[in-house]
């Protein structure tokens, strides 16, 4: 699909199509983060206020409990594959993808060529623009920022529960307003949400000071295995094994924030956390910062993954977990040498 430049009229179009449909099916991506949960609950709460019939699906079995303070958090339905053909309501249904760079990240079974009533709201630069209506701005900090702009463009009422959900996505996707995706507009939106009644200290407590003791034990295992390497020690890696989840009692959502924590090591510019989930699946979480010889998404893409320039993810296929640290270290160094040769 052709890329297009984001245009402010897209906001109004998105608002209008949301208002036009009585029923919405919302999809968020696997391993939902604060922005996915924040945008889904914001849209859910705003839709209920308009009398819409809403369902919210994602492949996750459990969402991160951190966000359970958000209204309508409990409405999430686990769904790995959605049979669009068999959806009795498909004529009157708007399918809304939130924070999903590709539709496969949201749900299996969607086919762009079927031209369903689908709306794609996102901020990933590599978004595939797979829906009939795409409201995607790669310069936005978060999907919650996009939703706020849609709500403003369409004159929607901004209720407290909606605002707390939006603030959650802004806060988490910008690393508490610290990453380079934090723009003047992000701060202006946060300021408006605060002036409407969102309490920043309360939100920080709920989001950041909310680790369970089991999560903390899990983190301590990852910390104890950190390997720092490369020229001027700019790379760092760590690993979590399936047995770590079993032995600490941590949920798989307990890894959220761990990669950002590795980024706090002085001089480190690029990190990756390897996680072997209890299902056996092995995934990489990748972060890069200013001064890294290559970006997170650039590293993730040849592995079949994707994401943002500075935060990305990929699956690690066909590598046994015992070898994963070593293999990944080699991959990083290989990529580094390729980049330095190309310079
Ligand atoms: Mn996001």
pLDDT single digits (tens) 204-225: 999 988 888 999 999 999 999 9
Residues counted in the chain: 343
Instruction: For residue 5, report the distance from its CA to the centre of ligand 1, in Å.
Output: 19
Domains of the chain: 9-208 (3.90.1640.10), 213-342 (3.10.310.30)
Instruction: For residue 322, report the distance from its CA to the centre of ligand 1, in Å.
Output: 31
Instruction: For residue 121, report the distance from its CA to the centre of ligand 1, in Å.
Output: 10
Q: Which pLDDT band, with edges at 50, 70 and 90, does 266 fall under?
A: very high
Instruction: For residue 91, report the distance from its CA to the centre of ligand 1, in Å.
Output: 29
Please, which residues bridge with residue 100 across strands? Answer: none
Q: What is the per-residue pLDDT across 35-59, written as a single tens digit (0 to 9) for each?
A: 999 999 999 999 999 999 999 999 9
CA–CA dist 179, 172 (Å, integer):
10
In the predicted model, is pLDDT for residue 4 greater than 70? no
Query: In the predicted model, what is the mean pLDDT of residues 23-45?
Result: 96
Say what the pTM is. 0.83
- Tokens, residue 17: 């199509």
Instruction: For residue 143, report the distance from its CA to the centre of ligand 1, in Å.
Output: 5
Burial 311-332 (b: 16+ CB within 10 A, else e): bbbbebeeeebeebbeebbebb
Instruction: For residue 170, report the distance from its CA to the centre of ligand 1, in Å.
Output: 9
CA-based nearest residue to 325, from 273, 277, 248, 285: 273
239: burial class by Cβ within 10 Å (0-12, 13-18, 19+)? buried
For residue 243, the model assigns a pLDDT of 97
Instruction: For residue 332, report the distance from its CA to the centre of ligand 1, in Å.
Output: 25
CA–CA dist 123, 134 (Å, integer):
11
Instruction: For residue 158, report the distance from its CA to the centre of ligand 1, in Å.
Output: 20
Instruction: For residue 343, report the distance from its CA to the centre of ligand 1, in Å.
Output: 32
Instruction: For residue 38, report the distance from its CA to the centre of ligand 1, in Å.
Output: 9
Instruction: For residue 124, report the distance from its CA to the centre of ligand 1, in Å.
Output: 7
For residue 91, the model assigns a pLDDT of 83
Write the DSSP string, 128-159.
Answer: ---SSEEEE-TTSS-HHHHHHHHHHHTT----
Instruction: For residue 310, report the distance from its CA to the centre of ligand 1, in Å.
Output: 12
Instruction: For residue 37, report the distance from its CA to the centre of ligand 1, in Å.
Output: 10
Instruction: For residue 49, report the distance from its CA to the centre of ligand 1, in Å.
Output: 24
For residue 343, the model assigns a pLDDT of 58
Alpha carbon separation from 109 to 43, 58, 116 (Å, rounded): 23, 12, 12
In the predicted model, is pLDDT for residue 138 greater than 70? yes
Instruction: For residue 242, report the distance from its CA to the centre of ligand 1, in Å.
Output: 26
The separation between the first and the last C-alpha atoms of the chain, rounded to the nearest angstrom, is: 32
CA–CA dist 88, 99 (Å, integer):
26
| Dihedral (CA of 294, 276, 217, 39) sign | positive
Q: Which pLDDT band, with edges at 50, 70 and 90, does 1 fall under?
A: very low
Q: What is the per-residue pLDDT across 70-108, written as a single tens digit (0 to 9) for each?
A: 999 999 999 989 988 888 777 889 999 999 999 998 889
Instruction: For residue 340, report the distance from its CA to the centre of ligand 1, in Å.
Output: 31
Q: How far is CA 73 from the centre of its chain?
A: 16
Instruction: For residue 326, report the distance from its CA to the centre of ligand 1, in Å.
Output: 30
In the predicted model, is pLDDT for residue 5 greater than 80? no
Collapse the DSSP code of 228 into the 3-class scheme (helix H, G, I; strand E, B; otherwise coil) and give the result.
strand
For residue 135, the model assigns a pLDDT of 97
Question: Which segment of 160-164, 219-223, 226-230, 253-257 scores lowest on mean pLDDT?
Answer: 253-257
- H/E stretch holding 313 reads strand 311-315
Instruction: For residue 123, report the distance from its CA to the centre of ligand 1, in Å.
Output: 7
Q: What is the per-residue pLDDT across 288-320, written as a single tens digit (0 to 9) for each?
A: 999 999 999 999 999 999 888 899 999 998 899
Instruction: For residue 157, report the distance from its CA to the centre of ligand 1, in Å.
Output: 23
In the predicted model, is pLDDT for residue 3 greater than 60? no
Query: In the predicted model, what is the mean pLDDT of residues 281-290?
Result: 95
In the predicted model, is pLDDT for residue 342 greater than 80? no
The set of residues, in sequence order, having a beta carbon less than 8 Å from that of 193 and lying 6+ positions away, is 148, 158, 163, 166, 167, 170
Angle at 81 between CA 80 and CA 87, to 5 degrees: 135
Instruction: For residue 231, report the distance from its CA to the centre of ligand 1, in Å.
Output: 31
In the predicted model, is pLDDT for residue 233 greater than 70? yes
Instruction: For residue 329, report the distance from its CA to the centre of ligand 1, in Å.
Output: 27
For residue 294, the model assigns a pLDDT of 96
């Amino acid at each position: 699909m052709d890329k297009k430049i984001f245009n402010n009229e897209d906001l109004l179009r998105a608002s209008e199509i949301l208002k036009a449909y009585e029923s919405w099916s919302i999809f968020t991506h696997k391993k939902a983060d604060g922005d996915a949960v924040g945008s889904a609950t914001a849209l859910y709460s705003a839709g209920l206020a308009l009398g819409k019939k809403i369902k919210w699906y994602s492949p996750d079995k459990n969402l991160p409990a951190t966000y359970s303070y958000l209204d309508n958090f409990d409405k999430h339905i686990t769904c790995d594959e959605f049979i669009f053909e068999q959806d009795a309501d498909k004529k009157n249904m708007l399918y809304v993808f939130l924070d999903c760079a590709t539709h496969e990240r949201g749900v299996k079974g969607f086919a762009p060529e079927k031209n369903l009533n689908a709306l794609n709201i996102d901020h990933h630069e590599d978004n595939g623009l797979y829906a009939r209506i795409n409201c995607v701005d790669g310069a936005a900090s978060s999907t919650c920022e996009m939703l706020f702009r849609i709500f403003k463009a369409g004159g929607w009422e901004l209720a407290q529960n909606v605002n707390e959900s939006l603030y959650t996505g802004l806060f988490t996707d910008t690393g508490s307003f610290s990453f380079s995706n934090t723009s003047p507009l992000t701060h202006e939106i946060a300021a408006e949400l605060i002036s409407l009644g969102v309490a920043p200290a309360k939100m920080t407590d709920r989001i950041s000071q909310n680790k369970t003791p089991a999560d903390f034990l899990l983190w301590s295992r990852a910390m104890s295995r950190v390997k720092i390497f490369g020229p001027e020690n700019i790379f760092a890696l760590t690993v979590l094994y399936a047995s770590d989840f079993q032995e600490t009692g941590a949920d798989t959502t307990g890894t959220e924030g761990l990669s950002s924590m590795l980024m706090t090591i002085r001089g480190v510019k690029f990190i990756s956390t390897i996680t072997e989930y209890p299902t056996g699946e092995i995934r990489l979480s990748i972060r890069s910062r200013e001064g890294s010889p290559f970006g997170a998404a650039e590293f993730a893409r040849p592995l079949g993954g994707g994401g943002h320039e500075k935060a990305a993810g990929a699956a690690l296929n066909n590598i046994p977990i015992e070898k994963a640290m070593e293999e990944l270290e080699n991959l990083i160094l290989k990529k580094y040498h390729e980049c330095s040769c190309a310079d």
